[in-house]
Structure 1
């Protein structure tokens, strides 16, 4: 009896899923394909190698000013944290019971710092900083962590060349990349 009910339930479920699958191929006539120009406006990510970093440059000195105006309310005057995450310190703590994950202790690639700042910061106005200001803030944060000198000026080439202290601290994923198209 129980076996018959289970078979009936499975058959009913399979028939229902078949109906869903048939209709999944339908188009509803809503929207349109994005144009290449529209895609380019959102395709702004920067990979770990920095190959797609934009033109521009920024100094630690300029970064200090921009950070003070745009970042310190959340991240503290010197990146020590507050409402926002701590950005400095933490070196040598990753193996401890309470690791401090900061740009200087945890972040593996400097170009992705630029990417994150440009796309997500300041939190109340993401993508509002110029490329020059993002290079400058990146330089300032890296300087606070002792990764670049206090008189550094970063651009696409020099930022991509920065070797972060934790670059080799991650385990590689041996699985191949999978692309949808």
Structure 2
């Protein structure tokens, strides 16, 4: 009974949202968002690195930042804790107990920048500046053995990092996903 009630409420909520999306044209109220408002939400980074911002960060800069901002959840070396494991797991995806980490599972390095920028640290998402995000990305990639200790990540170098699972995903066959 509760499931039907929840489904009914969800249907009503969807209908209200759909109707409000058309309210400006149909009912004469509301407004189209400005270009600045759209730009504030249009922060995604493509898998090929398009739209990566200016900035740069090194493995050396990322280590103390990781220790201060990330290790409390992800462990001192990215081994996991209350947060997901970030390092290791290479070669485990085809085993009965795959270890899905940045180094074993993620197919594209720029998406790591995107995720950290949008969602981390968990208690203050989007609080890191581009240099800090690049530094954290460099450090996490280094923890996984994907870049050397002297690596510097920026909009040019990050897309060139080849992730071990780059070919491990099947393209989405839906025509609307292209």
Residue 171 of structure 1, CA deviation:
1.2
Residue 51 of structure 1, CA deviation:
1.3
Residue equivalent to 2:154? 155
Residue 105 of structure 1, CA deviation:
0.1
RMSD: 1.7
Aligned residue for 1:154, secondary structure, equals: strand
Structure 1 gaps, min length 5? 1-19
- Mapping for residues 160-179 of structure 1, pairs under 5 Å: 160-177=159-176
Residue equivalent to 1:54? 53
Greater shift, 49-58 or 167-176, is seen at 167-176
Residue equivalent to 1:142? 141
Q: Does 1:131 align with 2:130?
A: yes
Greater shift, 31-40 or 84-93, is seen at 31-40
Residue equivalent to 1:97? 96
| Runs of 4+ displaced beyond 6 Å | none
Deviations 1:43-81 (A, max 9, x none): 000010001100000000110011011111100111100
Point out the structure with max Rg over C-alpha.
1
Aligned residue for 1:96, secondary structure, equals: coil
Q: Does 1:34 align with 2:2?
A: no
Structure 2 gaps, min length 5? 1-14
TM-score, length of structure 2 as denominator length: 0.83
Deviations 1:29-50 (A, max 9, x none): 5542211001001100001000
TM-score, length of structure 1 as denominator length: 0.82
Q: Distance in 1 between matches of 2:27 and 2:145?
A: 55
Aligned residue for 2:176, secondary structure, equals: coil
Deviations 1:74-112 (A, max 9, x none): 001111000000000011111111111000000000000
Q: Distance in 2 between matches of 1:96 and 1:178?
A: 30
Residue equivalent to 1:9? none
Aligned residue for 1:163, secondary structure, equals: coil
Residue equivalent to 1:71? 70
Aligned residue for 2:175, secondary structure, equals: coil
